[in-house]
């Protein structure tokens, strides 16, 4: 029983593999696929983007697919960057920005700049995971992880905004946690575990 985890993000793929390994589920990645396709994420909600990705990859490769759309919602920014989390650095917020760093670093710097002197630093990670099988239909779940944005980046584990996200109840950033611990509390871990429960139930019906 193999599922294609259709993500171009290595950090995400690593986490999906770890989470699924607890259930003995083997994961294929886009790198295992001979023919390559790209899918643009141009929708306005996590769910629509995740459905689009799952359907495109599933219909193309004709195997069961898991796709995720995820992001960080910051309260003081009205929920931004949200669905724009991956390319936040390149979205114009009134100033021209040249990218000299890597993407994750650029996103982090931009967010810290926008939150400078802001007292409300509440944020949450969101994950919407879609399972799609060309033979049957689709299932989706969501997971959230609440926390605050730190003053400066710390830690080198994880990916994306992890170095500036302090989960509720912790005094360190997500990037300072062991991978197992991040998976236990993360938006992705929660969404995937919900999904596996539903799939297990369905397979016994
Ligand atoms: P795919 O669409 O190919 O899966 P992507 O990186 O474009 O890869 P998303 O559109 O879901 O994935 O973008 C999510 C972005 O949100 C991601 O690039 C990170 O910047 C951020 N993000 C999501 N989950 C995160 C996590 O667990 N830790 C830190 N940042 C995360």
pLDDT digits (tens, 9 = 90+) for 156-182: 999 999 999 999 999 999 999 999 999
Ligand 1 neighbourhood includes 8 CB (under 6 angstroms) = yes
Residue 81 DSSP label: B
Bridge partners of residue 5, in order along the sequence: 29, 66
Give domain limits for the chain: 2-203
pLDDT digits (tens, 9 = 90+) for 56-98: 999 999 999 999 999 999 999 999 999 999 999 988 655 555 6
Ligand 1 binding pocket mutation candidate from 9, 52, 55, 66 (most atoms within 8 A of CB): 9
* Predicted local confidence at residue 28, as pLDDT: 97
Give the percent of the chain with pLDDT over 70: 94
| Average pLDDT value for the chain | 94
Map residue 24 onto helix, strand or coil.
coil
* Owner of token pair 């605050």: 148
Question: What are all long-range contacts of 102-106, with beta carbons under 8 Å and residues at least 24 apart?
Answer: 104/159, 104/160, 104/161
* Predicted local confidence at residue 27, as pLDDT: 94
Ligand 1 neighbourhood includes 160 CB (under 6 angstroms) = yes
Question: What's 2-203's CATH class?
Answer: alpha beta
* Owner of token pair 């495109």: 56
Ligand 1 neighbourhood includes 86 CB (under 6 angstroms) = yes
Give the percent of the chain with pLDDT over 90: 87
């Amino acid at each position: 029983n193999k599922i294609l985890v259709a993500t171009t993000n290595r950090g995400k793929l690593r986490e999906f593999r770890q989470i699924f390994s607890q259930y003995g589920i083997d994961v294929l990645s886009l790198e295992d696929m001979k023919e390559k396709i790209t899918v643009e994420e141009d929708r306005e909600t996590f769910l629509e983007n995740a459905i689009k990705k799952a359907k495109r990859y599933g219909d193309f490769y004709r195997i069961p697919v898991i796709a995720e759309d995820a992001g960080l919602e910051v309260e003081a920014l009205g929920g931004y960057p949200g669905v724009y989390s991956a390319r936040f650095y390149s979205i114009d917020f009134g100033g021209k920005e040249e990218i000299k760093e890597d993407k994750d670093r650029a996103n982090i710097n931009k967010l810290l700049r926008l939150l400078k002197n802001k007292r409300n630093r509440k944020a949450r990670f969101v994950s919407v995971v879609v399972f799609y099988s060309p033979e049957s239909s689709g299932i989706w779940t969501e997971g959230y992880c609440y926390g605050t944005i730190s003053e400066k980046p710390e830690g080198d584990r994880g990916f994306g905004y992890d170095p500036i996200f302090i989960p509720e109840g912790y005094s360190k950033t997500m990037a300072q946690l062991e991978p197992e611990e991040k998976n236990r509390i993360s938006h992705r871990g929660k969404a995937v575990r919900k999904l596996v429960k539903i799939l297990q139930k369905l397979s016994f019906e």
